[in-house]
Structure 1
Amino acid sequence: MTVLVLYLLTHSRELQKDTNTGTLVLQALSASLKIRVEVIEWQRKAPDQRLFDLSASRQLGLIYPLLADTPQACYLLHHGQYQAQNPAALAELETRQSEAVKHWVLLDATWQEAAKMLRQSPYLQSCYRLAIKPDTPSLYKLRRNQKAGALCTAEVVMELLQQTGFIHEKEQLMLLFDEFNKR
């Protein structure tokens, strides 16, 4: 059985916010046998050893929509199909995707903080990169200054789950997100 491991690399300020949707991801998927979610607090000077090791062994994928226009990024389309500007990036992703355990890291922070986290975490530079192309705009309403075309953490995970065939898990997360977003 393929297991999806999702690491939410979370900025310390994000852990304190009651508008953080990463907590919904953890809550919705905690009982799943197919998906394991772990929250890791980002540390600039002391990176998490597991993430560092997975990155060094080139087994860690980075989901980060702002990278969508970079040559090394692949796009996840519906039903697990991929597209890339660079054929080598696509070939590398498809090779890595054949592993029984899939390791993905998602930066759980504001867009400004996420960009800073990426710049200040050299070990994330060797990750294969996956851009999510949503069909609909963000529905997240609890924060101001949303970036056009951007999704919150829970929405990114819902897109990933939908597009990789974890429909039941996506629906569980969507129910929690809809209630959360009505506050």
Structure 2
Amino acid sequence: MLLGAAGEHYVMCQFLRRGLIAALAPVGVPNADLIVTDDIGEKLCAIQVKTRVDKGSDGGWHMGKKHEDIVSENLLYAFLDFGSSLVDPPNCFIVPSAEVAAAVKESHALWLATPGKRGQQRNDSNMRRFLPDYSKMGLEIGRPLGWLNPYREAWHLAEAHS
């Protein structure tokens, strides 16, 4: 998909601009889109890029069940929002995988435990959402609007690994 490729290249560009070596991971690598290292290859981290444009009402990114369990101190997610038009500045959140896994797991468990619009039991699926404001879904998991702000443009989190 072109949007995903655009997101990967945007994030890669941001790391290169900061003097880090960044490259696309080989096709088929399950949990990383980019590999980032320092100039001598001493330190390394992997980046999974999730890209969106301003569609839908929750402002979030699609995730899968597998993301509940993917935790590594050397894996970061780049949640990129290109906005609603080509002139909107991109917003990127660099989030540690442990934080992502916890948010996805907690929110999905609470969503399953909460009755649907007509009071029915919700059906489980492999789809998850990573949101900038879980209270929009009526989920109080300690991640209201603004909880992602410390991760906005937090490129230094990858720089600390590299």
Pick the TM interval, shorter chain.
under 0.3
Please identify the structure whose Cα radius of gyration is greater: 2
Q: TM-score, normalised by structure 2?
A: 0.28
Q: TM-score, normalised by structure 1?
A: 0.26
- Judging by fraction of residues, say which structure has more helix: 1
- Higher relative contact order at CA 8 Å, sep ≥6: structure 1 or structure 2? 1
